[in-house]
Chain A
Amino acid sequence: MPGEPYMVIGDLYNRIFAVQSSHIDVLVDYAAWNRIFEQLPPNYLLPDMEVLTFD
C-alpha cells in the first residue's frame, strides 16, 4: 500500500541503548529510525545515566 511505512526489527538500533536486550517482536519505521540513527552522536546512550545517578 502506498505510504505504508517499511517496518524493521527495533533491535537494529540496539547500539544506542545502555542495556542490550532483544525484542524481536518490536518493529519500527525504518525511514524514521534510520534518519535518527544517522544523526545521533557516536557516544549517544539511553537512558541518560548522568541525570539518573543522583544518590
Chain B
Amino acid sequence: MKILLATYWLIPHVGGVWKYMLQIQQRLEAMGHQVDLLGNSPDYSKFHIINRGQELSKAALRPLLSAKLADIHVPQLHRDPIIHFYEEDRYNMELSAAYFGLGQYDLIHTQDIFAARALHRVKPSHVPLVAQVHGSVNKELHNHFLLNPQLGVQEHSPAWKYFDSIEYYGASSGQLTITSTQWQKNELVQSFGIPEHRIEVFQYGLDTGPFWQSAQHGTDVHKPPGKKVIIVPARLAFVKGIDVLISALGMLKYMRNDWVCWIVGEGEMREELMQQTAGLSLQDDVAFLGERRDIPALLLQSDIFVHSCIQDNQPFSVMEAQIAGLPACVSNAGGLPEMVEHGVTGLVSPVRDPLALAQQLNALLEDDEYRRKLGQNAAHWAQEHWSMDRMIARLLNAYGKAAANL
C-alpha cells in the first residue's frame, strides 16, 4: 500500500505526533509499504511532504486567497483573527495537498482535526481516510479562552463556537476515526455526536529499541548525591499543568529536602514558571533543562515521573517513564487514569490539586520499597501494554475497515 500520514502541525517537531508518525512510517516501510509524511514546515512558510522533498510555499497561494476571501466577500471568515488564521492556513493545506496529488495514495491517515477536514475536502472519493484524534483541540482552546478573559472570548463568541465546529467536522471526516483511549471516544460520541460504530479505540505502541539505544548513550546531567530526582518531560504550556507541580514542590519543601526536580522541555510558559519557582525559593531544587535528546538516559537516573496536566489523551512521556521503570504521579485528566493504575503502577491525583500531589510525592520519597515496587509494576505493565507490534497489527486492521467502509 502507499499511505499518506498527514498532520496540520509542524514536521519535524519534538512532540508526540511526529514521533508517532515516524514510528508508523518505519514499521510499515519495514513491512514493504510506502509511507509519505505531510505537514506544515517548522517556520509555517509552506506545506511539505518531508520525506520526498516536495513543498509548496504559502506565498504562492496567499495573494489570491487574501483577495478572494477578503472581509467584504466572506465576513464569516473575519469574525475573529483566530478563526481567520486557522481557516486560511487549512485552505493552504488543502491546496497544497491537491498540488502534491492525493490520487496516488491507497489510504490517507490524518493525525488531527484540521488535517482530517482538509484532506477530506480535496481527496479523490476512492481513497479512504482514517482520522486519528490524539487530543481535543477545542477543549484546549476553550481552556485557553477561560483562563485569558482579556481575550474577550466567551461561550457565545464566534471563536468559541468555531472550535466546536471544526472539532466535529474534523473528527467525523474519515471512513473511520481512531483514538487511543475510551475517554477520548466518549468525548467524541457524547460531545460531538460521532457515531460510536465509526470509532476504533486502541492504545499507542512504543518502539523500545531506539529508547534503550538512546539510554545507552548516557547524559551529561547527573543526579546530585543524596537526592532523589522527580522528572517532568513536558512542553512548557499551560495545558501541561507544570505550575501545579511547582506549587506542590513548594509544599513538599516543607516536608523534606531529599529531592530535586528536572523539568525537561521548552515553551511559552518558561518565564512565568521560572518566576513561580523563584517566588517559592525553589531555584536550587528545580532545574529547567530545556529541550533535550537524552530523555531516556535522564529517566534512568530519575526516581519519580510526574505529569500533572490539565488535559491529555495518552502522552508518550508517560509510556517512556513506565518503560524506564518509574512510578508515575499523574492527574486524573483525560486518558491518564487508563494509563496509570492508582497504587499499582503509580499514583493519580485530581486535576489542579497541588496538595494531593505533594502528599503523593512525599509518600513515594518516604518509602523506597513502595516506590520501587510501583516502578517495577509500571515496567512490567508497559512491556505488555505498549507493544508496537500489537499497535501496528491493529492499525492495519483499521486501514482495512476504512477501505471497506468507502
- A38's nearest neighbour on chain B, judged by CB, is B98
B82-117 residues with Cβ-Cβ distance < 8 A to A are: 83, 87, 90-91, 94-95, 98-99, 101-103, 117
CB distance from A43 to the nearest CB of B (A): 9
| B64, CB-defined interface residue at 8 Å | yes
CB distance from A36 to the nearest CB of B (A): 5
**Quick check: B67 and A23 within 8 Å, CB to CB?**
yes
The complex places the Cα of A7 from the Cα of B244 at a distance, in Å, of 55
- B70's nearest neighbour on chain A, judged by CB, is A21
- Measured between beta carbons, the chain A residues less than 8 angstroms from B83 are 52
Contact mask for chain A residues 27-55; partner B; CB cutoff 8 A; 1 contact, 0 none: 11100110110011100101111111111
| B211, CB-defined interface residue at 8 Å | no
- A25's nearest neighbour on chain B, judged by CB, is B67
- Measured between beta carbons, the chain B residues less than 8 angstroms from A53 are 76, 165
**Quick check: B117 and A51 within 8 Å, CB to CB?**
yes
| A19, CB-defined interface residue at 8 Å | yes
B283-329 residues with Cβ-Cβ distance < 8 A to A are: none
- Measured between beta carbons, the chain B residues less than 8 angstroms from A36 are 95, 98-99
- Measured between beta carbons, the chain A residues less than 8 angstroms from B67 are 10, 21, 23, 26
**Quick check: B63 and A26 within 8 Å, CB to CB?**
yes
| B161, CB-defined interface residue at 8 Å | yes
Q: Could you say which of B56, B68, B90, B125 contacts A17, with CB atoms under 8 Å apart?
A: B68
**Quick check: B98 and A40 within 8 Å, CB to CB?**
yes
**Quick check: A28 and B76 within 8 Å, CB to CB?**
no
CB distance from B172 to the nearest CB of A (A): 11
Q: Could you say which of A13, A18, A39 contacts B103, with CB atoms under 8 Å apart?
A: A39
| B370, CB-defined interface residue at 8 Å | no
The complex places the Cα of A10 from the Cα of B67 at a distance, in Å, of 9
Contact mask for chain B residues 115-137; partner A; CB cutoff 8 A; 1 contact, 0 none: 00100011011000000000000
- Measured between beta carbons, the chain B residues less than 8 angstroms from A17 are 68-69, 73
- B99's nearest neighbour on chain A, judged by CB, is A36
6 other A-B residue contacts (CB within 8 Å) besides A13-B64, A39-B103: A10-B63, A19-B73, A26-B64, A40-B98, A44-B121, A50-B169
Q: Using a CB–CB distance below 8 Å, which chain A residues touch chain B?
A: 10, 13-14, 17-19, 21, 23, 26-29, 32-33, 35-36, 39-41, 44, 46-55
Q: Using a CB–CB distance below 8 Å, which chain B residues touch chain A?
A: 56, 60, 63-65, 67-69, 73-74, 76-77, 83, 87, 90-91, 94-95, 98-99, 101-103, 117, 121-122, 124-125, 158, 161-162, 164-166, 169
Chain A to chain B contacts (Cβ below 8 Å), 13 pairs = A17-B68, A21-B68, A21-B73, A23-B68, A26-B67, A39-B99, A39-B103, A40-B95, A47-B91, A48-B87, A48-B121, A51-B169, A55-B161
